[in-house]
Amino acid sequence: MRLLRNTYAFISVTSVAAAITVQSWVCGYLARQGIGVQPSFWINLLTASGTYVLVYKALVKTYELWAWRIIHRRFVIEGTWYNKLISELKSGYRRVGTTEITQTFGSVVFSAQNYDPQFARSSRTMWRSRRYKSTTMVG
C-alpha cells in the first residue's frame, strides 16, 4: 500500500513541476514575442491549476491503464492457473481444473472449471468471481 501512495505522490509532485514549468515557458515565450503579459494573481492561479489538473489526470490515466503492471509487477496474477484440490475432510475427494484470471488496475476476475480426475463431463463445476476496487486513493 505504501508503494501505491508513493506512486500517487510522485504523480502529484510531477504534475506540480510540469504546471510551473509550462506556465513559466508560456509566459517567457509570450514576452519574447513582444506580447506584454502581466497576468493577475487569478490568471496565474487558474492557468497553473488547469495545467496541474490536466497533467495529473493524464499521468493517473496512464498509470491505471498500463504503468501499474510495470511498477507493481509482483501483484500481476493474470493468466491461466492450473489447480488440483484435495480434501482433508473427505477421503478420496479430488478435483482438477483451470482458473482464468483477468486483471486491470481496478478489478480482478476469476473464471474457473473443475472436474473429477477422470474429467467426466457430469462432474464439471464452473464458477466466476469479480473484485472491483471500492474506493479511489486519489483523483
Q: Where are the domains of the chain?
A: 2-74, 77-132
Return the exposure string of 111-133: e unless at least 16 CB atoms fall within 10 Å of the residue's CB, then b: ebebbeeeeeeeeeeeeeeeeee
pLDDT at 138 over 50: no
pTM: 0.63
pLDDT tens, 105-127?
A: 888 999 999 998 888 888 899 99
pLDDT tens, 73-108?
A: 888 999 999 999 898 998 888 999 999 999 998 889
Q: How confident is the model at residue 48 (pLDDT cuts 50, 70, 90)?
A: confident
pLDDT for position 126: 92
pLDDT at 22 over 90: no
